[in-house]
Amino acid sequence: MLALVTCALMLLQILRPLPAAAAVEALPDDYQYAIGFAETKNTNEWSYLQWDGTAYSEMDWKPLEHRWRGNCEFCIIARSGMHPDVNDAVIGWTAPRAGTVTVRGTIDSRDYGDPANHDIDGVRAFVRQRSGSTLTKVWPSDAYQEIRPGFMAQHIFQTTVAAGDQLLFHVNKNGTTYNDSTSWFPRISYGYTPKFALDQAELVMGPDDFEHIGINDALDASVSVVPKNGSFDFYHSSGGRLQKFRGDLRHPAQTPVYHDQASVRFTNLNQFDGTWWIENIYRTPEGHLLAFCHIENANPATSGWWAGGLAYSTDDGEHFQILGKTIAAEVKQQTGANGNIGGMPFVVKDGYFYVYFTEPGVPTVARAPVTEVLDAARRGTVSTWMKLDRNSGFTSPGMNGVGGWVMPAGETNDYGTHGDAAYSTYLGKYLMAGGSAGAGRGVFLAFGDDPTHFETPTWLLNSDAVNKPTLSPYETIVNLDGSDNGEVGREFYVYFGYYFVWPRDEPTTDIAKEFRWLYRQKVTLNAAGFNRSAVSLGTDYTGKHGENGLDYVQRFPAPGMRYFMMNWNDQDLRWHGDEQFALIDSVGMHPGSTYDVARAWQAPRTGTVRVSAGGGIFTAGGSGADGVRITINRSTSSFKSPVVTVWPAWDSPAAIVAPGTTLPFAPVDIPVTKGEWLYFNVNRNGNNGYDTTVWVPQIAYLP
């Protein structure tokens, strides 16, 4: 463990090793490959191996290459990633003690070659557990996770280990070794309870399947799933066309039913304007289909260019009658250049449909009584929908009224609503799946206790490579048995499109090959992950703003000054401020030459929390170092709110940690209100030389 701390400090520009054993106790049992990677064997519990199909053997360190190399030319492991050859490249981790561990990570191909080029065929990945001489595969449930060039897949699972057990992270060459470099930063944590487990991402439709069912351009909307006599009908809209096809959940594109111009399948008796997409479908009690539609190219003078509406089928989806518009943005956009409202995920609660869209760029909601919506649909029209107003409830008109946000605004992530929503009977919570075109791109899953309040989303699919030029749009939530109407149990699939190259207007983009991919991933919810009474700002640390209720911020140290976001760097896997040495990783923080840095935690509920830091707070030292000043601050609503100091006492000076020493930290109890933020703040004192500070707060609600 001492070496792990030393490595972490070196990452934060510290030139001398950590001399204080007390600081080691402050570290949680959180093992991150990106931090623990070393040039010596079996350091920080990590090892660097190869598998020849029969046995494991150790690689050799190559100092001139700064990486480990096996006995094959391209069998390589470095801090930045790994590459297989005839032998698998294998990262090993040895359990220092018995217990249950959570294993997290993203397997990410940073090669964006043509995924249909069979000479570049990607890799296969899986995780084994070795207990004595017994080898057991622990992830995925299938034989392996296939990673095509440019693809990525996240894993989350738990396993029980005995002291000395090994977890072995395999990358296999698949067929060829061309362009097989793979980024994989495993993370193993004792005492961390995840919200859900993730099995492998499975390809369910590729370019040939899209061609077979008549999707000639690309995936352009969420795929709607409707059970049909033991199989399933699937609906999709793309650029003025409507497709229907039939199959099972693993292989949807077995039988094409139709792929027509929308005008053939949509009846538009009242001549409503715009181009209509079917995004989600609800089966009515009498077996009819109510389609929630996204609308573009609408009349700017009436609804604006973007809108949402309803269509209705009484002949089992052979035709849909356009009923009318129900939702339009507050500002009537004149063109499609901006203002996309996304949509249209829905849930049902207490006799109301709740439908989600974005305004502007953040999810909001409108609702209408189910009986009124269905009665109007039977008459060939629509009823009145009302948007949520944060101050007065559902009082804002659905058409061009002002909508209130239902989840926190993304500072660096765009939470799009071209996805799906559902209610989990297992969890007693509402779910929303969507895509992000923000940093790292990917797929999110948000949870809410009611349909109008969702917490900051958690990532199902996301890359540490902030500028990864891919996109994962159009999500669908489906129960394992395929039943839909917006209700799932503990386990379900999230289907999502994958664009291997984005943006689509690049002249080199081959839409037919690179945009026609549909994956699904099984999610298993874990109620214990939602009922945690304690968090560690170490094991809960991630590279995504807001995830696990944590954030990473900076501010100018003056009264009334507000915090603002730091930026994730995918080269060194840590948060950077606006100054060179303003840095945060999972273990340490380093202030800038003028700016403070802080870890931020948002209270999920009202109560009193006990803040502790086992082993105290350690600050490095060196020539001319003068230590740091630390405080715990609080703001009542958001980063834009001024803060007050709650530790030491508000009228006391900041605590000073002298260079090269450990400051004991007696637990402190702090009352918090739901939504408040606590900031664990590090200030440079006089100068910021050698100011890396190891401070890993633990926060626990008191009974």
Residues 375 and 265 in one domain: yes
Of 226-240, 447-461, 506-520, least confident by mean pLDDT is 506-520
Of 61-75, 222-236, 322-336, 400-414, least confident by mean pLDDT is 400-414
Residues 183 and 217 in one domain: no
> What per-residue string of b and e applies to 88-104 under the rule 16 or more CB within 10 Å gives b?
bbbbbbbbeeeeebbbb
Calculate mean pLDDT across residues 307-322: 97
Q: Can you tell me the distance from the alpha carbon of 412 to that of 575, in angstroms, rounded to the nearest whole number?
A: 13
Q: What would the DSSP string read from start to end of 165-191?
A: -EEEEEEE--S--TT--EEE--EEEET
Condensed to tens digits (0 to 9), the pLDDT of residues 660-696 reads: 999 999 999 999 998 899 999 999 999 999 999 999 9
Q: For the chain, give the mean pLDDT.
A: 90
According to DSSP, the residues that pair with 356 across neighbouring strands are 365
Of 4-8, 35-39, 40-44, 159-163, least confident by mean pLDDT is 4-8
In one-letter notation, the amino acid at residue 447 is F
Domain count, the chain: 3
Higher pLDDT, 77 or 17: 77
Tell me which residue range forms the domain holding 306: 203-529
- Domain at 631, CATH number: 2.60.120
Residues 246 and 303 in one domain: yes
In a domain, 25, yes or no: no
Residues 483 and 600 in one domain: no
pLDDT at residue number 113: 60
What pTM does this model have? 0.92
Residues 221 and 122 in one domain: no
| Contact present, 146 and 454 (Cβ < 8 Å) | no
In a domain, 21, yes or no: no
Q: What are the strands, taking DSSP E only, across 591-665?
A: 596-602, 607-612, 617-619, 628-635, 644-647, 655-657, 661-663
Q: Can you tell me the distance from the alpha carbon of 325 to that of 345, in angstroms, rounded to the nearest whole number?
A: 16
Residues 176 and 268 in one domain: no
Reference 110, options 144, 72, 78, 158; nearest CA is: 78
pLDDT at residue number 413: 57
Give yes or no for residue 14 having a pLDDT over 70. Answer: no
pLDDT at residue number 560: 75
According to DSSP, the residues that pair with 62 across neighbouring strands are 67
Calculate mean pLDDT across residues 483-497: 92
Q: Is the peptide bond before 566 cis (omega within 30 degrees of 0)?
A: no
- Domain at 277, CATH number: 2.115.10.20
Residues 116 and 158 in one domain: yes
Share of the chain above pLDDT 70, in %: 93
Among 478, 501, 529, the domain boundary falls at 529
pLDDT at residue number 640: 58
Residues 542 and 660 in one domain: yes
Contacts of 132 (CB under 8 A, 6+ apart): none
Higher pLDDT, 289 or 217: 289
pLDDT at residue number 510: 81
Give yes or no for residue 11 having a pLDDT over 50. Answer: no
Give yes or no for residue 51 having a pLDDT over 70. Answer: yes
pLDDT at residue number 376: 98
In this structure, the number of other CB atoms found within 10 A of the CB of residue 258 comes to: 15
Of 91-100, 170-179, 190-199, 435-444, least confident by mean pLDDT is 435-444
Calculate mean pLDDT across residues 585-589: 90
Residues 209 and 356 in one domain: yes
In a domain, 472, yes or no: yes
Residues in the chain: 703
Calculate mean pLDDT across residues 228-246: 92
Higher pLDDT, 10 or 39: 39
In a domain, 15, yes or no: no
Calculate mean pLDDT across residues 385-393: 93
Calculate mean pLDDT across residues 296-312: 95
Q: What is the distance between the terminal CA atoms of the chain, rounded to a whole angstrom?
A: 32
pLDDT at residue number 629: 96
Q: Can you tell me the distance from the alpha carbon of 433 to that of 477, in angstroms, rounded to the nearest whole number?
A: 7
Residues 406 and 305 in one domain: yes
Distances (CA, A) of 62 to 45, 77, 78, 93: 20, 10, 10, 20
In a domain, 2, yes or no: no
Give yes or no for residue 23 having a pLDDT over 80. Answer: no
Higher pLDDT, 366 or 651: 366
| Contact present, 390 and 405 (Cβ < 8 Å) | yes
Give yes or no for residue 300 having a pLDDT over 80. Answer: yes
> What per-residue string of b and e applies to 387-408 under the rule 16 or more CB within 10 Å gives b?
bbeeeeebebbbbbbbbbbbbb
In a domain, 10, yes or no: no
Residues 378 and 435 in one domain: yes
Q: Which residue has the tokens 């983009």?
A: 509
Q: What would the DSSP string read from start to end of 362-396?
A: SEEEEEEEHHHHHHHHHTTS----EEEETTTEEEE
Six token digits for residue 509: 């983009």
Among 192, 216, 251, the domain boundary falls at 192
Contacts of 676 (CB under 8 A, 6+ apart): 602, 603, 634, 635, 636, 637
pLDDT at residue number 28: 53
Calculate mean pLDDT across residues 129-139: 97
- Sorting pLDDT into bands at 50, 70 and 90, what band is 440? confident
In a domain, 14, yes or no: no
Residues 390 and 489 in one domain: yes
Give yes or no for residue 411 having a pLDDT over 60. Answer: no
Among 126, 160, 192, the domain boundary falls at 192
Give yes or no for residue 83 having a pLDDT over 50. Answer: yes
In a domain, 293, yes or no: yes
In this structure, the number of other CB atoms found within 10 A of the CB of residue 38 comes to: 18
**Dihedral angle, C-alpha 296, 297, 300, 302, nearest 10 °:** -70
Q: Can you tell me the distance from the alpha carbon of 498 to that of 651, in angstroms, rounded to the nearest whole number?
A: 54
Give yes or no for residue 116 having a pLDDT over 80. Answer: no
pLDDT at residue number 54: 96
Count CA within 13 A, CB hemisphere, residue 481.
8
Share of the chain above pLDDT 90, in %: 73
Give yes or no for residue 184 having a pLDDT over 70. Answer: yes
Condensed to tens digits (0 to 9), the pLDDT of residues 136-178 reads: 999 999 999 999 999 999 999 999 999 999 999 999 999 999 8
| Contact present, 465 and 108 (Cβ < 8 Å) | yes
Q: What are the strands, taking DSSP E only, across 297-441?
A: 307-313, 320-327, 346-349, 352-358, 363-369, 386-389, 393-397, 420-424, 429-436
